[in-house]
Amino acid sequence: MITCYLRYVVDPFKLKEFEAYGKMWIPLVEKLGGKHHGYFMPHEGANNIALALFSFPSLAAYETYRLKAGRDPECQAAMRYYEETRCFISYERSFMRPVFE
């Protein structure tokens, strides 16, 4: 299993828009074979950093998700929403291997 860790630099004046964006992606990741662990919004501390975590059985499964997402109308609509709102400025993506026991 791999977990994708996304660290976003968000526009602190567009947190509602970013939260709506995140809520769009949670079911889309699930629909395309992943397990979403949620978006984590700023609360205390930095007001412009948000995180998202989701897992796939393998890096190959994640790559398949990326291909499917590029052709999926709902995923394309989520990307258009981002383009219209510009609710985040940048993001960093890392892949991690979880250890549970």
* pLDDT of 19 above 90: yes
The pLDDT, as a whole number, for residue 100 is: 78
pLDDT digits (tens, 9 = 90+) for 46-81: 999 999 999 999 999 999 999 999 999 999 999 999
The span from the CA of 81 to the CA of 2, in Å, is: 27
The pLDDT, as a whole number, for residue 101 is: 80
Going edge to edge, which strands form the sheet with 2-10?
35-40, 49-56, 2-10, 88-96
The pLDDT, as a whole number, for residue 98 is: 84
Q: Across all residues in the chain, what is the average pLDDT?
A: 96
